[in-house]
Amino acid sequence: MNMKKTLLALALICSATYASAQYNYTETGTNGNTIVQGPFNADPGIQTGDSKKTTATKMMAVHKVGVWKYWHDNGTLTCEEHYNSFGTRIGIWKTWNNAGVVLTEVNYTTGHAIYYYENGTKAEEGDMNANNQQIGAWKGWHSNGTLNYTGTFDANGNKTGVWKFYDERGNSIGTENH
């Protein structure tokens, strides 16, 4: 019973220390709108008058944590990123166009990725490895929503096996062997 209380107290102290050590960053554009916002793991200590080299050196000592958001000049969200406490990409990252239409959804925890056309229809879907290379089975669609291709990538991101291709009406137009 005492051990549970000690561990709980230690966890609370660690989380409070971690939360207070974060440095929230906000950048505004020329129109006064927020264009970037998110936390770093610590204050980089950048001072007015620091040279570009000094600023870059200070920024190398910190990393992004938590949720980072970026906005277009018109105020619509352009990108949302998620980082763990070590600065590693996690969770679903999304991008949007100026009209607010989702363009990409990449899950850095599972590796699953979906890409969309500007009109919001699905363009491609499959899995990615840690090097952002396509792996495993992938499908692609034409902008009208009909199947464009099916195929498989190996662990190094190279096409493998039989790839099938279709026209915009869904008719088979050929295959490739890799």
In the chain, which stretches have pLDDT less than 50?
1-20
The amino acid occupying position 4 is K
pTM for the predicted model, two decimal places: 0.80
The whole-chain average pLDDT of the chain stands at: 89
96/78 Cα distance (integer angstroms): 5
Tokens representing 155 are 């662990």
Length of the chain: 178
Instruction: Tell me what pLDDT residue 134 has.
Output: 97
- What are the φ and ψ backbone dihedral angles of 103, each rounded to 5 degrees? -105, -35
List 133's β-bridge partners, or say none. Answer: none
pLDDT tens, residue by residue, 137-164: 999 999 999 999 999 999 999 999 999 9
What does residue 138 show for φ and ψ, rounded to 5 degrees?
Answer: -130, 150
Distance of alpha carbon 156 from alpha carbon 160, whole angstroms: 10
What is the enclosing helix (H) or strand (E) of 71? strand 66-71
pLDDT of residue 8: 38
Confidence at residue 16, expressed as pLDDT on a 0 to 100 scale: 38
| Strand, helix or coil for residue 114 | strand
Cα–Cα nearest to 72, from 37, 101, 35:
35
